[in-house]
Amino acid sequence: MTSPALVWFRQDLRLADNPALAALDGRPALLVYVLDDEAAGAWAHGGAQRWWLHHSLASLTADLAARGASLHLARGPATRIIPQLATAIGASEVIAGRLYEPWARSRDAAIAEALQAEGRKLSLHTSSLLHEPHRIRTGTGKPYSVYTPFSRALFALGEPPPPLPTPARIETLAHPGLPLEALELLPKRDWAREFPQHWQPGEAGAAARIKAFSLLNRYDATRNLPGIPGTSGLSPHLRFGEISPRQLWHAARAAGVTGDATFLKEILWREFAYHLLWHRPELPEAPLQQSFANFPWQPDAKLLRAWQRGQTGYPIVDAGMRQLWRSGWMHNRVRMITASFLVKHLLQPWQAGEAWFWDTLLDGDLASNAASWQWVAGCGADAAPYFRVFAPVLQGEKFDADGAYVRRWVPEIAGLPDKFLHKPWEAPEIILRGANIRLGVDYPRPVMDHGQGRARALAAYAEMRGAAP
């Protein structure tokens, strides 16, 4: 008689293109999800991610039930729960998609050791990336530290294999678990009430997003315009593995995307972030460029709070921060603008912005979030130069020229003409009165003058370079 297996769902909450399910090869299995906040520590799911996870698990449970299968939910240390469940069902093998976060790697090593002591094994499969980070090396055998040659190397590997089909049959074992509500993922305060207007978590939601996104071949032209639906909106689905990067890659090819198109390069930027995290596990906490350990940040709770609440007085910045709070997502171009404003104009540590994004982004992904913040701050492996300081007014006028984005998310200044929408402090008093705006009352004046903020940032950079060992 074939011994059963245990399939451990993690960052792969889907049935299609799931190597762990394919590896069952007809064996009966206990399908498990474990909420293990203790192991993740500071990087346990943020508030917005917990909302998504609740609904994603509900979707996965329903998809399995439609096939006569079930999902076992548990909460607590996976180092204890997984071996116990494997023993309880007599599983010879625990199968899962590989994770790359430092805490997850340590946990997997401990679980593998515990299973091995009982004559069982942990089998990990590539499920959430195209390629394993430890297998991608430069010609000299070293990890990549610059994105462009990394992406060229991955394109040179050729097309990824086609996605695996959804298993026609999954025979699952019955074993009592927790109800979804016992995981306590939903917020006690209903700050996420608008999320359902924007999102449908789950594998079906990911498929609907792909079908609805019709701009793949124009992505390079549309992706920087926050006022239009010019991006796919698939990042939260990718974060939770409701769609695999392999599925996304082949969907783009099927839609006519050719060569090394920008859309595919964005998939590879995510791969690069995981490459950095694998080889530089300090990525989420410490600057990769050691000289930045001496950077003279000026932590200020009041300035940080103004940024978090979208009350900086710069409309494009405030629109982004309010979009984030209300929808759990922010347009990528605006992420760069808001991040640059925080670390350069306001001289707040990039880790403070990273932590806020982690808690409020539905697509909060440890590797991508950390790598992107280090890129903006100028301290990453492949970073934008620190002296590149985005001018928020110019960014707004360039990428939101008709003001559609700002008017949606900062409605109190919607009545301003385009000429002053991105710089309301320059509007004559008669224009402000006509738009029913009292600066400093209805909408704040800038918390920091752009010229002064840029000068402070450059002075801080010069001070850091002088103090570097």
CATH of the structural domain 129-161+199-279, one choice from 3.90.950.20, 1.25.40.80, 2.40.50.140, 3.40.50.1820: 1.25.40.80
pLDDT confidence of residue 357: 98
Selecting among 38, 217, 269, 294, the annotated active-site residue is 269
SS3 72: strand
Selecting among 249, 325, 350, 375, the annotated active-site residue is 350
Share of the chain above pLDDT 90, in %: 91
| Token pair listed for 323 | 């979009």
Segment 176-184 mean pLDDT:
97
The verdict on whether 297 is a catalytic residue reads: yes
- pLDDT of 384 strictly over 80: no
Least confident of 103-107, 166-170, 179-183, 194-198: 166-170
The phi and psi torsions of 172 (rounded to 5 degrees) equal -110, 155
- pLDDT of 469 strictly over 50: no
pLDDT confidence of residue 190: 84
Q: How far is the C-alpha of 186 from the C-alpha of 83, rounded, in Å? A: 28
Selecting among 38, 266, 397, 412, the annotated active-site residue is 266
Sheet holding 93-97, edge to edge: 72-75, 29-35, 5-9, 93-97, 121-125
The verdict on whether 217 is a catalytic residue reads: no
User: For 5-127, CATH number?
Assistant: 3.40.50.620
The verdict on whether 373 is a catalytic residue reads: yes
pLDDT confidence of residue 53: 98
Summarised one tens digit per residue, pLDDT across range 363-379 is: 999 999 999 999 999 99
The verdict on whether 356 is a catalytic residue reads: no
Classify 290-467 by CATH class: mainly alpha
Selecting among 103, 325, 358, 373, the annotated active-site residue is 373
Summarised one tens digit per residue, pLDDT across range 85-108 is: 999 999 999 999 999 999 999 999
Alpha helices in 218-365, H assignment, sequence order: 219-222, 235-239, 245-254, 262-279, 301-309, 315-327, 332-340, 350-360
Long-range residue pairs from 259-268, CB within 8 A, at least 24 positions apart, any chain = 260/151, 260/155, 261/219, 261/220, 262/219, 262/220, 262/223, 263/216, 263/219, 263/220, 263/232, 264/155, 265/151, 267/130, 268/130, 268/147, 268/150, 268/151, 268/154, 268/155
pLDDT confidence of residue 220: 87
- pLDDT of 138 strictly over 50: yes
- Residue 133 near residue 100 (C-beta atoms within 8 A): yes
pLDDT confidence of residue 1: 57
SS3 73: strand
Selecting among 332, 397, 412, 425, the annotated active-site residue is 332
pLDDT confidence of residue 189: 87
Domain regions of the chain by residue span:
5-127, 129-161+199-279, 290-467
Selecting among 191, 217, 224, 297, the annotated active-site residue is 297
